[in-house]
Structure formats: structure tokens, C-alpha cells
Amino acid sequence: MKNYKFKFWHYGLIVTLAAAVLITYNLQADDKSFFLSGEVTHGHHQIEMACSTCHGDGFAGQEFIQNACVGCHQDELIQANDSHPRSKFLDPRNAGLLAHLDARQCISCHTEHKPEITHEMGVSLAGDFCFHCHSDIAENRPNHSGLGFETCASAGCHNYHDNRYLYEEFLASHIDSPALIPGGQLPMKSLVLKWHAENRDGTALSATDADFPADTTGSQLAVPVASATQAWSNSAHALSGTNCTACHQSGETGLEAAVVVENCGDCHSRQLAQFTRGKHGMRLSADLPQSRPMNVQEAKLPMHPHAIELAKELSCTSCHNPHDLDTRVASVEACLGCHNDTHSVAYQESEHFRLWNDQRSGGVSCANCHMPREEHQGEILVNHNQNHNLRPNEKMLPVCLNCHGVEFAVAALADKALIENNFSAPPAIEHKTFEMIRERIARIKTTQ
Amino acid sequence: MRSLISIVISAALLSGCGEKSGIAPERMANAIFAVIEADRASYTNYVVNRLANEEKVIKAEEHWKDSKALPLPAQMMRMGAERVAEQESGFNYALLSQWAINKQNKPRTELEQQGLEFINENPGENFYGTETLGDTEYFTAIYPDVAVSPACVSCHNEHVDSPRTDFEIGDTMGGVVIRFPL
């Protein structure tokens, strides 16, 4: 053995075997990071290691990927009245257009793992992509003559998918509303009121009704349990007859994130479905192969050092204290406990915050904008997907329009500096769109 | 020689036995058009015109979801066409016009242009042809889309983007294009 001479190919074999073991381990038992061909977009970074969600077994074709896109995003596209649905491009008369841009496939425009060519909204095409199909727009709309095609979707005028609040009639019908609507306020949430109306007999519980298992209260948990019971007894859970064991089924404490969302989802299924569509909760979606909560450390946005240090996992109770259920805490304090970007930090200097803090009309919390109150079958409910109305940000218009005129709101949402400083001043200039709308209204009036 | 002729004739007959006798594309397109036209006229007359124009209980508007109104007849037809396309049923149809309000619905192929001109110049007649789109050859049939109710003409004559404002009931306003890959 002493005299055995290693030859070059021996080293080659050892290196190859070692690499093969490492790669196989990474694929089978570790996080598959060796197989990540490039950074994914902001929308998918939470689930970038759930490879099979989009790629199946790794050999699944384009159809599988397309179905994966549709599987997660279809409901939202339907809700947005998608202006360019796949179905529009299935007519053979579009064959010539599809040769330039195959709009039937999501990944034609949203190529993943290509950070070097990915722009806002996860679009991986050059900014003037509208040109491919709308090159003759100035013939039909002379006032569009001279406008660059890179401005169509970047100036707050049009979006590819969602134009619910940007179409002409909508803007025209709201055009004369003042910058600040007198007495404007957000719609009132109706869930708790409705519950009380339907449960007049009352099933309210008090602190003495708490059914937290007694065998753990004698231990060092006694004080926390007592304070939690006190907080609970004044909460909507106690009022609605939801006792301790509804969540602490066997008296366990320190519940894991996946258990928390499951427990909460038993009663709040709508909120859970929305939460697992947003970036806070998408990792806990039942549609993913494994359930691993999002951690503050892994966030792409700037976070507070102490939140990073705590490696706080995100679940329902990250924002909602499970015992007192104070929604005012959940709608500002909880957000600012983690988020440390310029927009978030500037919020507490804004008029929105000042009025909210004074509990006056016109006050707006973080959640009021990012988790909008929406009408659903006559009820006003909070959408728990905090990314729902963020991109494109014109989706936030229905919230803004409760208190502001459409011209003011569109101009504000198109002003990046104003967003950065959290709307510390009115928007500086009027939006060009409205000049065009006014010309248009005048033309309609003269032709009638 | 006689046996050779017999073999050739037998082979020709036998090969003929293997062919499926299908429906001619023109006949199939006519049948599909009959269904489309019947549904379209029924919706226009008995739903939109009755409720929006005669009884005035609900409006029919382009942004029907937001205004809680009825979809316009042309939109209703396009919704059907998109559903059919999604089901990959083996054919496609579209509603086009030389005077389309939405310019995306103007003729785009040479045959569409030719067909729409033909049905406009020859009332009551249909147009049939073949064309190659992408790398596929299609049988294309174009049928006149006639204004069947006041709702059709008033909307198109009054719309600010309408390139033609003198439509009358009975006029050919556009065409229904039905396509089969050959």
C-alpha cells in the first residue's frame, strides 16, 4: 500500500464520486439549492425551493409549468377581469401576432430565474412589449401619437392584466371628485356585528369559564396563563364563546406556525385561504409539497434587526395577539415590528398615521391600505392577503377613493418619491391620463 | 392485362372502403353558424332589447360587471367563442367588422378582409375559402351579421369610437367567421 502510486485518473474518480454524492445529497436530502439556475422573482422567492410545485418531477414540460402558474394565479386573474386572458389568443387569426409574442404562455413574459432581465411586476420582456400588437394605436387614438411604448404600462395608465380601475368610463365617472372628499372614511367591517346579530342569545364567556387544562396551570406557566386568560376574557373570542381548548386542544402552548394556521383556519377559513396567497403565508399553503413558515431572516425587504435576530416565523399570531385580538395592534404595531424600509419607517410621520392614532375620521393604518376592506355578498371583510393590492399599485385605488378623488389618487400612486416618503405631501403634478380623459369627455359631449 | 386491371380496380375499391365519410366543412360551418346566430338573436331580442330598451329595467353596458348591467350581445358572443377556444373543440369562431368599435376586431387576414367585403356587397350570401395561418391550413366561412334589433343600431351609431354611424335595422354590420383546421 505504501508503494501504491495514485494515478491521475484515480484523483479524477474520487473527485467525481465526491461531487456526485454532494449533488445527490443536495437533491434528495437538502434544500436543492445547487439546482437553482438563477434567483427567482420577488413573487416566488418564498417558495423557490419548492421546485416540484412549478417543475413537477424535473422533466415535466411547458404544459405542466403553465398549469402551475394558472393553478395559483387563475382566481386572481378572473377577479381582475384579465384584459389579456389566454383565451383571447387561441383564435388562429392571432397566429401572426403569436409569432412575435406567444401570449398563451405565462412564461413568455414572466421568465423565471433570470434576474438580469426581470423588471417590475416580474416581467422579463423589454418595456415596449405592447408594440407587438398595438403598433397602430395612434391611428385610432391620435392623442397617443408620440407616446413611447415603454410608457403604456409604466406611467399609471394601463396594465397588461388588471385594468379594473383604469378604464376610461371609470376614470371619467370619478374625474370631478375633490382631492379630499369631505367626511370620507373606510367602510365599516361587518363580520363581528353580523355575528352578534345572529347570536343574540349570547354565548359570551368570562375568565372563570376558561377551560385551559388545569394540570399545566400549576407549573411555571401559571402566571402567563392567568394573564392570557385575562386578555382572552375581554376578546372577541370570549364574546363569541370560543374557549381556550378551541386552540390549545390538549393544553399545549408554544404552538408551531403550521398548527396555528390550521387551528385558526378551522373557523377563519376565508382568511386562511387569503393569508396563504400572500407573501406572509404562502409557504404554509396546503398546495405546496411541504409546509415551512416564512421567517423574517429570509425576507427580501429591510427588516428590523431585533426581528431578524428573533428569527420570527410568520403565522396568524405574528400579527394577531391570540388572546387579546387587538386589531389596532395587528394593523400597525405588528407591521412596524418587522418592516424597516423607508416607506414603513416614514408612515408614523404621515397625516394618515396622525389621524389614525387620534382615532379620527380619515386615519389610515398600514392594514387599511394593504389589507383592504372588501365587499363580499353584502358583508365588508378584510382581505388577509397583504400583497393583494400591491402590484400594480393601482389595485389600491378602491381604498384611496374612499377619501380621495381619483385624479389625486392616481397621481399619488404613480409618484415613486411620494410612495417612498409615505404620502407626506399631496402629489406635485396632475396625471397626464386625466388631460386625455377630459379631451375625451368633451368629444363624447359634442358627438351626442 | 385483364387481371392487372382487376387488381387495380379492386385495390381502388378496397382503399375507398377504408375512408370515413365525414361531414363537409361547409355543411358543418353552416350548422354551427345556425346555432350561433339563433342564440345571438335570441339574447339580443328577448334579453337585451326587451329589458334594456323596452322595459328599461336594466342597462346593457361594456363594463357590465361594475355597473351590474347586462353584457352587450357582441360581448356575450365573444365570451362563448373564448370558451369554445379553451375547450379545443376543433374549430374557432369570431365576430369581426370593417367598422368595429374595438379595432382589434377589424379584419386581420386577407381572407377576412375579402370575405367581409363580399358579404357586405352581396346581402344574404355567405363566403367560403381556405387560408394558411401560422403553419396550418384552415377552411374559413364568413356569414353576415345583420342588425336584428334597435339595440344593435343605436349602440353602434351612437358610440364615440364607432367609425360608421348610419346603420339601419337589416344592415350587415359585420361577419361571423368560423374556422376549421384542414
Query: What mean pLDDT comes out for the span A376-403?
Result: 93
Quick one: pLDDT at residue B3? 64
Q: What mean pLDDT value characterizes chain A?
A: 90
Please give, one letter per residue, the 3-state secondary structure of A95-122.
HHHHHHCCCCCHHHCCCCCCHHHCCHHH
The pLDDT-based confidence of A238 (bands split at 50, 70, 90) is: very high
What tens digit of pLDDT does each residue of A129-177 get? 999 899 989 988 888 999 999 999 877 789 999 999 999 889 999 998 9
* CB atoms A443 and B160 under 8 Å: yes
Among residues B92, B101, B131, B93, which one has the least CA distance to residue B113? B131
Query: What mean pLDDT comes out for the span A39-62?
Result: 88
Residue A251 or B70, more confident? B70
Q: What are B113's three cell numbers?
A: 378582409
ipTM summary value? 0.83
Phi, psi (rounded to 5 degrees) for B19: -75, 140
pTM for this one?
0.87
In angstroms, the separation between the Cα of residue A275 and the nearest Cα of chain B is 26
Query: What mean pLDDT comes out for the span B144-149?
Result: 91
Query: What mean pLDDT comes out for the span A218-242?
Result: 81
* Chain A CB contacts of B138 below 8 Å: 92
Among residues A186, A108, A166, which one has the least CA distance to residue A382? A186
Q: Whole-angstrom distance between the N-terminal and C-terminal Cα of chain B?
A: 39
The pLDDT-based confidence of A1 (bands split at 50, 70, 90) is: low
Query: What mean pLDDT comes out for the span A46-69?
Result: 89
Q: Is the pLDDT of residue A2 over 80?
A: no
The pLDDT-based confidence of B17 (bands split at 50, 70, 90) is: low
Quick one: pLDDT at residue A200? 74
* Chain A CB contacts of B179 below 8 Å: 92-93
* CB atoms B181 and A87 under 8 Å: no
CA distance A122 to A112: 8
Query: What mean pLDDT comes out for the span A210-217?
Result: 70
* Chain A CB contacts of B159 below 8 Å: none
Q: To the nearest whole percent, how much of chain A has pLDDT over 90?
A: 64
The pLDDT-based confidence of A225 (bands split at 50, 70, 90) is: confident
Quick one: pLDDT at residue B112? 98
CB A434 within 8 A of CB A407: yes
* Chain B CB contacts of A95 below 8 Å: 133-134, 136
What tens digit of pLDDT does each residue of B22-65 get? 889 999 999 999 999 999 999 999 999 999 989 999 999 999 99
In angstroms, the separation between the Cα of residue A162 and the nearest Cα of chain B is 14
> Hey, is the C-beta of B108 within 8 angstroms of any chain A C-beta?
yes
Query: What mean pLDDT comes out for the span A383-396?
Result: 93
CB within 8 Å of A290: residues ≥ 6 apart:
A50
